Structures are given as structure tokens and as C-alpha cells.
Chains A and B, each alone.
Chain A
Amino acid sequence: METIQNFQILWYVLIFVLLLGYSLLDGFDLGIGSLLPFLGRDKEERDTLIHSIGPVWDGNEVWLITGGGALFAAFPQAYATAFSGFYLAMMLVLFALIFRAVSMEFRAHDPARAGLWETALVVGSGAATLLFGVALGNVIYGVPLDSRMEYTGDFLTLLRPVPLLFGLTGLAAVLLQGAAWAVMKTDGALQQRAFKAVRVLLWVNGAVAILYFIVMAAAFPGLPGRPLFYAGVLLTLLGLVGLFFSARKRNDGAPFWESSCSFIGLWLVAGAAQFPNLIKASNDPRLSLTIFNSSTGLHTLKVMSVIALIGMPIVIGYTVFVYRIFKGKTRPSDSY
């Protein structure tokens, strides 16, 4: 029993890392997508913004696909409960991601309808981000479950204040991530506007994050006793303070890392509150789906561990290689 528990904990950590990686990487894509009309004043600027994420967003989305696959492989009960239980919300996420995915490619091939595809990109990116946060907020904060592990709420159950706060916190972090990416990848007037967005979003993030920490500490009585909670709070605050000074000094490289640091802090607090639950039952804690009652068998977890621990370092290796190819400011020639 001891062994399988170790693997269940390992897989909680691995899926946490996959979703964290997703939020940081696809986070800047979704952030650029959502901020497109605010940062890009004319077609040329919007071209630059889209080309700054064009070569990498696809690979970034695979972090989500792999995270979903890993959840299916390690904790199928949680995957099945959340995806079927939150059916309409999941469908909306999916439709948003579909439009986000095709919008950039279609825009490049179909300049006559560029405005339409830009709208699809903005709405798709923003809606997907907000809904992801709300979904995550629900599984952490808790939803009504029955003894067969099935969700018993409805669509409106998902829209309670605490999960909505998760959605807003995630959206604010993703927008900051996008603005910080724009600062790194652009120059001139566009970059100045991105700096301005970073400065505004910095305060928005600070306010939302503090509210989030207070609400989390109040909603999870055990949380203030966990060191990871304080580590998370500290990382977020450090990231935001660092960002404040970097933005003042017009440093174009550091903001992306400081924004990521702040985002990681939010995730650590979420993880500290959630572990070892996967989906908390709001009606009766004994009905919660935990990493211990929702996992696959030991053999599957072991096989998966071998695949992940060999495969993911290789993935990270060539991902870094490809990011280095596109290093520096986005050039007009980096087009479709």
C-alpha cells in the first residue's frame, strides 16, 4: 500500500507540473490573444503580436493535451467526473479553444476576413482562460458529489463566487503573462504600450491575488498551517514587486520571468489547498475524489512514470531548442 501511495503522490505532482507548464506557456499565448485589440493598434502591430506566438502556441497547447491524457491515465475517476459533470462548461472551453486554434492560421490565409478571425482569437482566448480558472476553482473549492463519484450540481452551481474568483485570478495572471511576453518580443510603440499594460495589470494582479489568498485561507481552515501556502504567497509577491521595478527600468527580459514567478505562486497556493483531494465534495468530505481513491493500478502508474520521466526531459530539451531558434524580437519576416 505504501508503494502505490508514493506513485499516486508522484502523479499528483506530475499533473500539477503539466498544468502549471501549460498555464505559463499557453498562458502567454492566451494572454496575447486576449490583449490583441488593446495592444495592437493597427494590422502591422497585430501581425507582430500574432507572429510572436505563431510558431510556439501549438506546442504549448500540447501541455494541456498531455495533462488531460495524464489525468485520464493516473486518475481516470477524476477525469470522468469533472468532464462529464461540467459538461456544458467543458463544451464551452472546447469551442473557445477550437476557435482560438484555427483563428491565427485562417487569419493569415484569409486577410479579407482578418477582423472576424481576430475576434475569434480574442473571444476564444479570453473565454477559454476564464472558464479554465472557474473549472479549477470548482474542483478545488468543492462541488456536490454522490456516492458513485458523480457530479450532482448543474451549470449554475459552477458559477459560485469562489470559483469565479479563481477564474478572475487566472485571467489576470494570463493577461499579465501575455503583456510580459509582448514586452520581450516587440519594440517601439508596441512595446511601450505593452509596458503600460504590464504596469496596469501588475496592480490588478496584486489586488486579485491578495483577495484570492485571503479567501483561500478562509475557505480552507488547514491552509494557514501549510508551509507551501506561505511559499506561494511569497513567490507571487516577490514576482509582482520585481515586476514593478523591471517595468520602471524598462527591462524587457525580466518581466516575463517575474510574471511566471507570480503565477507559480498562485498555483502553489491552489495545490496546498487541494492536496490530496482531486475533486472536493462540498456536501460531504467523505465523498471527495482523492489521489488515493481515484487512481489507476500500480502497474499503470509505474509504466506511466517510466514514460514521463524519460519522455518529458527530452520534450523540454527540444522545446528549449526551438524557442532559441525564435529568440529575440519578432521579425516581420517571421510570417506565415
Chain B
Amino acid sequence: MSALLLARIQFAFTIGFHFLFPAMTLGVTLVILISETGYLIKKEERYRRITDFLVRLLGLIFVTGAATGLTMEFSFGTNWSNYSRAVGDIFGPLLAAEGVIAFFLESVFLGVLIFARNRVSPRVYWLSALLVFIGGHLSAFWILAANSWMQTPAGYAVDTAGKIALTSFADAVFNPSTHVRLIHTVLAAWMTGAVMVAGIAGYYVRKGLHGQTARTMLKIAIILFALTPVLQLGAGHMHAVEVINMQPEKAAALEGHFVTSRGVPLYAVGWVDTAGETTYGIYVPKLLSFLYNFDFDSEIKGLRDFPKAHWPPVNLVFQAYHVMVGIGMLAIALGLLGAFLLVTGRLYRTRWYLFVLPFLIPLPHLAHETGWMTAEIGRQPWIIYGLMKTADAASVVVSAGNVLFSLVMFSLIYLLLFVMFVMLCVKLVKQGPAS
């Protein structure tokens, strides 16, 4: 295998693994902020117990996320040095801003959350929860702005030497896909946290453990679980429209759409024969055209309008996208069902629903992983859409043997981290939010 392919596998593996943790971090800090606000206002023990329990969980999540996030900052230099040489003007400031404006805030006040319950007043503790929440989301903003710039670059000029120079920082940061990607990703993260907490609390309630604390925890989580997938429907729609407008090849790959036409169908499931340029599956006629601009006959560009060399791996993108959408639809149904049970007062005794909740915990992760596969594989062969090919981005001095060594090491270390993380989470859940 070539050094380039190994570097791509390593990046996909390490970023895919890393993202599990920031997604949980954002979602769990939201629940912590809600429960700590409840404690500040109502002064009831159950809220403090929920916070204290989730803060211990957050400690595990955050530290694993921080450790694996360090890999990402290294990797642009270690494995993608030609990319780094080309985009220092724009990508560098976004990473640096993330450090100065966001990550310091989150990390410094996380120390207060984990260690200083008995050292600070409830107000300062609440403020720390708020600042950890804000810091985490600012982090997401800068990192997603950086990713969005790779999808829909703006605010730059290419000089005669081929170097990419910054012309407008505001345009680069608020490029055409930043806001939709931010909303879509943050909602996915909130859903991840909501389902995780709902799964844990559902288990407690079904087993009759931790009484009122568990029921309150479940209530907060179910409300978030009902809201986030529905909001995601709107955010996902906005994002899809943006992709059709800004990255038409990717949009065409999402639905295996080859020939530019009007009245384009939307597939529920399917299979793309890329060589034969045909897509098979179950579809709703004209629905994609309708969803694009609420006109059943609107025109959607097909892949044939673009050189084959610029096509992403179509079937892979199609499948990843449809898994994500499928989970999103399932989440809407299950979230609304939970809200219905809550409103009708049956949530705490509908045993089958409580039984199912813990098994849902991996689903939002599968959705955001396949969502990122859609976004990133869908952008190929480009690393910066329309500007730089992934094939031209790797380090020239790093041999295949070196990357193979690091890839094997990452596989072993991350496997260890994953096993430990799951084991320690299960252990923590079994201990529960006691006193």
C-alpha cells in the first residue's frame, strides 16, 4: 500500500474515533447545564446528583477526546504537510483561534467542574458549567469553520506562485457552509448526549434505581431526544440544499443521480452501480426535486455533468448518507414517542421503551460517523473542494513504512482506550448517582 493510502486510512480512523468524544461532550455538557440550572433555581438535591454523576462521566469522555484530539492537530503537520504548507494562511488561524478562544475556556473550567464542587459557591459552579458549555461549542464552531472552508472555500486568493493567501478572514470563517454545518453537527451532538443520558436513566428507571433522580434525568433527556431529531430534520434539509448548490457532484452522489434532469426521485434504500451509471432501490418519485426548492419539477445536476475523475466513490457515499438519514428518521419516531409517553404520564412504566433506550446509545454515533463519511468521502478527490487534491496533500518525506507503524500503534492504543472507556463508563453507570 502506498504512503498516501495509509495516511488516508490513518486520518479516517483517528478522526472517526476522535469525533465520538466531542459529540458526547457537547451533548452531555448541555444536560449538565440544564440540571445545574435546575439546582441553582430549585436547590433540589436530585439536580445536584444528576450534575455530579454526569460530570464524572464527562471527565472520562473529555479526557479521551482531548487525548485523541491532540492526534488531529499533530496529523496536519505529520501526515499532511503539503496541505499545511499550502493552507497555513487560512487553516492555521482557525486552529489557533480554537485554542485561544475556545479550548482554554473549556479545559480550565472543566477543572472546576470536576474538582471544585466543595470549593466554590453554587453560582460560580453554575458559571463554570456554562463556560464549559460555551467553550465546547466555540471549539466546535472553529473546527467546523475549518472543515467548512475545505468544503466551500472562501475569503482567499491564489497568487501566481500557487500559494493560497487570505483576503478576508470573515469570509473564510463564515464561508457558505459554516452555519449549516455548525447547526447540523451541534444538533447531532446534542442528540448523542440526550440518547446517552436517556439510555442510562432509562436503565435506572426500569430497574427501580435512584428514584426521583433517575426519573428527572430521564425527563430532561427525553425532552432533548424529542426536540433534537425534529430540529435536525430542518437543519439536515438546509444542509442538503446547501450541498446541492455548492457541491453538486457530492449532492448527485448522495442519491446516485447520474443524468441532469427534472423531477428527481428520493431513495429510501438502494444500490448504485457506478460503472453502469444506474441506481436501483426503493424511491419516492420527484421527491428530491421537491425537497430542493419545493417544486416537483426542479432540475438537479447529475454526475455526468462532471468529469469522472472528479466523482467521489458514489455507492459508498450513497450508502453512508442513507444510513444517516435512516437513523435520523428512526430517532424522530422514537423521540416523539418518548415525549408522548412523558406527556401522557406513562414514560416511567412503559417497560419495553425503557428496555430499548440503552440499546439506542450507539445509534447517534453511527449517524454522525456516516454523516461525516458522506461529507468527507463525498468531497473526494478534493481535500479542498476545487482547489487542492487529496493526492497532492500528503507529506513527501514520510515513508509508507513509517505510516504503517503509526497506524498499527494507533489501532492498538485506540482499541485499548475504547475498551477502557466503555468498561469504565459501565462501571460508573453501575455505581450510579448515589449521594
Checking A61, A68, A81, A311 against B101 with a beta-carbon cut-off of 8 angstroms, the contacting residue is: A311
Decide: A150 and B70 in contact? CB cutoff 8 A.
Answer: no
Decide: B88 and A72 in contact? CB cutoff 8 A.
Answer: yes
Chain A's closest residue to B115 (CB) is A55
Interface residue tally for chain A (C-beta within 8 Å):
68
Chain A's closest residue to B85 (CB) is A80
Minimum C-beta distance from A188 to chain B (A): 21
The verdict on A300 contacting chain B, using a C-beta distance below 8 Å, is yes
**Contact A55/B77 with A87-B398, A304-B93 known, Cβ cut-off 8 Å:** no
The verdict on B5 contacting chain A, using a C-beta distance below 8 Å, is no
Tell me the residues in window 74-96 of chain B with beta carbons closer than 8 Å to chain A beta carbons.
74, 76-79, 81-82, 84-85, 87-93, 95-96
Give Cα A335–Cα B95 distance, bound, in whole angstroms.
32
**Contact A322/B111 with A66-B100, A81-B81 known, Cβ cut-off 8 Å:** yes
Decide: B427 and A109 in contact? CB cutoff 8 A.
Answer: yes
Decide: B60 and A109 in contact? CB cutoff 8 A.
Answer: yes
Checking A51, A84, A325 against B398 with a beta-carbon cut-off of 8 angstroms, the contacting residue is: A84
Chain A's closest residue to B59 (CB) is A105
Give Cα A334–Cα B96 distance, bound, in whole angstroms.
32
The verdict on B246 contacting chain A, using a C-beta distance below 8 Å, is no
Decide: B93 and A307 in contact? CB cutoff 8 A.
Answer: yes
Decide: A91 and B165 in contact? CB cutoff 8 A.
Answer: no
Decide: A296 and B92 in contact? CB cutoff 8 A.
Answer: yes
Give Cα A72–Cα B75 distance, bound, in whole angstroms.
12
**Contact A87/B395 with A59-B104, A102-B64, A297-B165 known, Cβ cut-off 8 Å:** yes
**Contact A319/B78 with A105-B60, A303-B166, A304-B93 known, Cβ cut-off 8 Å:** no
Decide: B70 and A65 in contact? CB cutoff 8 A.
Answer: yes
B87-118 CB mask vs A (1 if < 8 Å, else 0) is 11111110111111101110111111011101
> How many contacts between A and B, using CB within 8 angstroms?
235
Decide: B85 and A55 in contact? CB cutoff 8 A.
Answer: no
Chain B's closest residue to A66 (CB) is B99
The verdict on A56 contacting chain B, using a C-beta distance below 8 Å, is yes
Chain A's closest residue to B425 (CB) is A109
Residues of A within 8 A of B105 (CB): 315, 318
The verdict on B333 contacting chain A, using a C-beta distance below 8 Å, is no
Residues of A within 8 A of B88 (CB): 72-73, 75-77, 79-80, 296, 300
The verdict on A4 contacting chain B, using a C-beta distance below 8 Å, is no
Decide: B100 and A87 in contact? CB cutoff 8 A.
Answer: no
A208-237 CB mask vs B (1 if < 8 Å, else 0) is 000000000000000000000000000000
Stretch of A93-101, A167-175, A247-255 on the interface side: A93-101
**Contact A326/B78 with A55-B114, A296-B88 known, Cβ cut-off 8 Å:** no
Residues of A within 8 A of B81 (CB): 80-81, 83-84
Decide: A72 and B77 in contact? CB cutoff 8 A.
Answer: yes
Checking A98, A299, A322 against B112 with a beta-carbon cut-off of 8 angstroms, the contacting residue is: A322
Checking B60, B97, B100, B395 against A84 with a beta-carbon cut-off of 8 angstroms, the contacting residue is: B395
Decide: A109 and B100 in contact? CB cutoff 8 A.
Answer: no
A49-64 CB mask vs B (1 if < 8 Å, else 0) is 0010011101101100
The verdict on B42 contacting chain A, using a C-beta distance below 8 Å, is no
Residues of A within 8 A of B166 (CB): 296-297, 299-300, 303
* Chain A residues engaging chain B, CB cutoff 8 angstroms: 51, 54-56, 58-59, 61-62, 65-66, 68-70, 72-77, 79-85, 87-88, 90-91, 94-95, 97-99, 101-102, 104-106, 108-110, 148-152, 296-297, 299-300, 303-304, 307-308, 311-312, 315, 318-319, 322, 325-326, 333-336
List 9 extra interface pairs beyond A56-B111, A74-B92, A299-B166, CB under 8 A.
Answer: A55-B112, A59-B107, A69-B96, A77-B88, A83-B77, A84-B397, A98-B71, A102-B63, A315-B108
